[in-house]
Amino acid sequence: MFSLMSPTSLLVETPDRIAVARHYVMCPPDYFDVQYAINAWMDPGIPVDRGLAAAQWNGLRDAYLGLGHRVSLLEPLSGLPDMVFTANGATIVDGVAYEARFRHPERAPETLAHRAWLAGGVARAVQASAVNEGEGDFLVTERCILAGTGFRTEPAAHREVQELFGRPVVSLQLVDPRFYHLDTAIAVLDDGRASDRPDIAYFPGAFTPEGRAALTGLFPDALAVGEEDAAVLGLNAVGDGRNVVLPVQAGGLVADLRERGYHPVLVDTSELAKAGGGPKCCTLEVREPLSR
């Protein structure tokens, strides 16, 4: 079901940042559509151009390959139009996979597709007892795991993840329905695997005052992003420590990222955004220990 490629620990250094080659899992949007509305972005009355979605998805995959990352492919299944958003299928850390348990029944069968791949020996799968939507609400850094709740993932899943992975979990309440998953409101620019200095960008308006205070305490130098860029899913981005792949519509972020020493890589995922997804939603990372 997956075309599996082994991850690599190759480092690419620049004067300011270090890129770590990653292993990503993506699913072609063969059956992508907006057939129901389970978030604020979705409107079944707006047509989807599947050919354009495929071209944009291919552009995203090519961007990863061009940066030296590995991409495995999950076979799309008819009747599951959101399977393209692989990030929601699991959270994988150090060879252990915490399976998704989707809130909405429309997406529940996706878990089985991810489970079938994990059964091939890529990671030890652990079934969740609490509702969670994988990397949509769990963002992994070397310092901690940032965990979202409020619209999809239950707080009980935060406790399960902390016990399973043995990493501190920071719970963050989401309050704006446009930012229904944490990965729409926070981008991990550098997870700290090579630099030991995790770095994030986030939209303060997506969180409670307590959440904003927690993020400020953990990441005092974090990049606070304005609503204009956040509202086009600009934070649904993928960082490797140096390169940041983000939607071209979030042009206001480019100068800020470059000032911090990052290399912005702009892609167009506007057709996929009709279902509330961008680059990160389409990208599940297989995390293995980094050989230094």
The CATH number of the domain holding residue 260 is: 3.75.10.10
Residue from 281, 278, 242 nearest 11 by CA: 242
| 256 burial via Cβ count (<10 Å: 0-12, 13-18, 19+) | middle
Q: What is the model's pLDDT at position 253?
A: 97
Q: Within a domain: residue 253?
A: yes
The boundaries of the domain holding residue 156 are 2-8+18-285
The 10s digit of each residue's pLDDT in 181-208 is 999 999 999 999 988 899 999 999 999 9
**Catalytic status, residue 69:** no
How many other C-beta atoms are found inside a 10 Å radius of the C-beta of residue 168? 10
Which backbone phi and psi does 209 adopt, to 5 degrees? -55, -35
Q: What is the model's pLDDT at position 260?
A: 95
Q: Within a domain: residue 221?
A: yes
Catalytic residue among 27, 144, 281, 282: 281
Q: What is the model's pLDDT at position 7?
A: 33
Catalytic residue among 69, 114, 158, 181: 181
Q: Within a domain: residue 155?
A: yes
* Alpha-helical segments (H) within 75-120: 110-117
Q: Within a domain: residue 47?
A: yes
Across 218-227, average pLDDT: 97
Q: Within a domain: residue 290?
A: no
Q: Could you identify the residue written with the tokens 């995390």?
A: 287
Residue from 261, 184, 272 nearest 221 by CA: 261
Q: Within a domain: residue 102?
A: yes
Residue from 281, 276, 269, 229 nearest 49 by CA: 269
Q: Within a domain: residue 85?
A: yes
Cα 117 to Cα 26, 75, 85, 89, 122: the distances in Å are 12, 10, 16, 11, 8
**Catalytic status, residue 281:** yes
Question: pTM score, two decimals?
Answer: 0.94
Q: Is the pLDDT score of 75 beyond 70?
A: yes
- Count up the domains in the chain and report the number: 1
Q: What is the model's pLDDT at position 15?
A: 62
Q: Within a domain: residue 291?
A: no
